[in-house]
Amino acid sequence: MVVARSLTIPNPLVLLPKKDLSRLVQHLMQRYTVVGPVAKGGEHAFSAITDPAQLTLDYVSSLLPPKKVLHQPFEVLFSFHQEQGVLEEREPARGQVLFGVHPCDVHAIEILDKAYGHEYPDPYYVNRRQNTLIVAANCTKVGDNCFCQSMGTGPDLQKGYDLLLTDLGSQILVEIGSPAGEDLLQQVPLQPAPRVMLVEKEKRLDEARRKFKKRLNTSGLKELLEDNFRHPIWDELRQDCLACGSCTMVCPTCFCYNVVDKLDLNLKSGQRQREWDSCMLLEYAQVAMGHNFRKDRDARIKQRIYHKLAYYEPQFGTLGCVGCGRCIGTCVKHIDITDIMARLGGE
């Protein structure tokens, strides 16, 4: 898949004066739809920008993960008509650049690539993914709910990007991760960066590494969860959890969706649509004749935690949580996956 781009240049580095960043973005906007973090009511949301000044690259986290532009919250798959059959509606292939994506979210996209791109490729996802370039940004700021450091997904990124930015104050260190990334830098005057800049980068990242407030011990997770299927914490969570589904709606690695046919009133034509679904919702595991495999709230809470931390690995070779902390921040009840695991681990 697209993520497996080969590198022709050994880790090339360039320096971009911060004042020239908008020039780079302006240049990208001529060829691509640029989607990046934009301020929204005190939070941030990945949005298609019309002006480089809209980008707020000092953001900590976004409301929804950038996943939303690859696997959209709502999506029309195709139209159908009784006489004409299925009418495919593929979107035009204008490329897009995901700009300022944090390492946790890049890792999450790599997980989605495995879920949607490998065994049973999802044409809608794959089509968008192949037309998407990733300009990632290492984290020099750490949010209260972040624990990517524990998950090995941040605050810095090693792969999975076309370009990687690190804020060094007045300048931005740009690392090129692919030929396509190198191509993005054409027509922008850049200085080759001396290797010593990597030392400066490490200094900034080390500062970030010291700021993490949350951690999750990932050793022996599968065994820990298997041994604690009947732990009293699940019943406490059953009483606490509102079953609202927010934790899964904001998760960058959740990939479940529901498919609904929306008929027109003539009952002859309509659209097949899909939208994000969630295992935290009661109706998710309901089958024909009304039986529900996960009727109890604690069963659904367990499914969410076990899927991310125990069931993903055998299937995808990686944990299903990237430590972005969105599920913690969105929870009215402050239910915290790091607290749950610490308690199970006897901490």
The b-or-e profile of 15-48 (16+ CB within 10 A means b, else e) is: bbeeebbeebbebbbeebbbbbbbeeeeebbbbe
317: region left, alpha or beta (phi > 0 left; psi from -120 to 50 alpha): left
- The separation between the first and the last C-alpha atoms of the chain, rounded to the nearest angstrom, is 41
Closest to other proteins by CB, 18 or 40: 40
Quickly tell me which residue has 């495995």 as its tokens: 114
Interface residues with other proteins (CB under 8 A) are: 40-43, 45, 63-64, 68, 73-74, 239-246, 249-250, 260, 263-267, 275-276, 278, 281-283, 297, 329-333
Closest to other proteins by CB, 148 or 335: 335
Closest to other proteins by CB, 30 or 239: 239
Nearest distance from C-beta of residue 332 to other proteins, angstroms: 5
Nearest distance from C-beta of residue 293 to other proteins, angstroms: 14
Nearest distance from C-beta of residue 232 to other proteins, angstroms: 17
Closest to other proteins by CB, 52 or 329: 329
Closest to other proteins by CB, 33 or 218: 33
- Distance separating alpha carbons of residues 233 and 257, to the nearest angstrom: 29
Nearest distance from C-beta of residue 284 to other proteins, angstroms: 9
Nearest distance from C-beta of residue 301 to other proteins, angstroms: 11
- Distance separating alpha carbons of residues 244 and 265, to the nearest angstrom: 32
